[in-house]
Structure 1
Amino acid sequence: MEELKSQNPSDNLTSLIWKLSIGSTLAWEISKFFGSEHPYLGPVSLILTIQTTMDKTVSLSFKRVIGTMIGIIITVIVASHLKVTGLNLGLIILIGTYTAKFLKLDKKVLHQIALTILFVFAFEHKSDHYAMDRMRDTLVGVLVASLIQFIWSSLNSRKKTMK
């Protein structure tokens, strides 16, 4: 389902501003509701995945979730045996991104894996809940992004039909 494009580029920016604002509010509050100690992770996922169309938002959301899952799994398995150092971070990112290459996943997933490994490796030692919050809040963020995109697209389609 392709979102109808506005004749005015300013309308598209206005639409994005509202989606980011409303979506971030919802993602934060939903993450907190589900017990997150890091509720900013929900809005981060929303901000990084919301796109101009529903299809693009869902595609990027899927890649973010896959990359986050792989990054968390590899970091939890490997990082528990390592100290937090730059060299160890690089080694875990190497393992994670080569895993994605082996699975024939695209560059966007590789980026998500690397980001997840970085943050989980750095923060899990300080907060035992970071990895779980990261996964749950990523799901919250991408689901809210998709919901906001769906509602916005539906409203725009109705508005165009009424004209």
Structure 2
Amino acid sequence: MLCLQSTYHKTVRLSIKRVTGTIIGISFTVIISTHMIINGWNLGLLVLLGGFITKWLKFDKTVLHQVALTILFVFVFEHQKNHYVIDRMRDTLIGVMVAVLIQLVWFRLILPSKQKIS
């Protein structure tokens, strides 16, 4: 639902940014976190490096926020629950698909037909 925006194009753009940030955050954390213990310093270091990588790749702040959140969640929860990475990616994709479907159904099919009636 976080991807749902006022227009279809904005929803798709934000959805792409969320998926991109999630993929970067997951990839970065899985590669590096296996060699680290869980503590605040390591988490801070991962978020800082993930932010630098995101800026180096010239992504905007939406992708940066998603990278930071993904690093936080994956670093903490992957050690507690196996397969959290898969759950995180699946949940992000489901959220993106639901937002796009709502845009397609509600704003492209339902609202135009109501506007024609009035």
What is the TM-score when the length of structure 2 is the normalising length? 0.95
Aligned to 2:86: 132
Residues 8-157 of structure 1 mapped to structure 2, 5 A cutoff? 46=1, 48-154=2-108, 155-157=110-112
Aligned to 1:27: none
Superposition deviation, residue 101 in structure 1 = 0.7
C-alpha distance in structure 2 between counterparts of 1:98 and 1:108, whole Å: 14
C-alpha distance in structure 1 between counterparts of 2:101 and 2:7, whole Å: 12
Name the amino acid aligned to 1:64: R
Name the amino acid aligned to 1:108: T
C-alpha distance in structure 2 between counterparts of 1:144 and 1:153, whole Å: 13
Aligned to 1:31: none
Number of aligned positions between the proteins: 117
Greater relative contact order, per chain length (Cα 8 Å cut-off, separation 6+):
2
Range with greater deviation from structure 2 (51-60 or 122-131): 51-60
Superposition deviation, residue 149 in structure 1 = 1.3
Name the amino acid aligned to 2:49: I
Structure 1 unaligned regions, length at least 5: 1-45
- Map Cα deviations across residues 19-43 of structure 1 (whole Å, 9 max, x no partner): xxxxxxxxxxxxxxxxxxxxxxxxx
Structure 2 unaligned regions, length at least 5: none
Question: Cα RMSD between the aligned structures?
Answer: 0.9
C-alpha distance in structure 1 between counterparts of 2:13 and 2:112, whole Å: 21
C-alpha distance in structure 2 between counterparts of 1:125 and 1:92, whole Å: 15
Superposition deviation, residue 158 in structure 1 = 1.6
- Map Cα deviations across residues 100-133 of structure 1 (whole Å, 9 max, x no partner): 1111000010000000000000100011110111
What is the TM-score when the length of structure 1 is the normalising length? 0.69
Superposition deviation, residue 55 in structure 1 = 1.4
Runs ≥4 residues deviating over 6 A: none
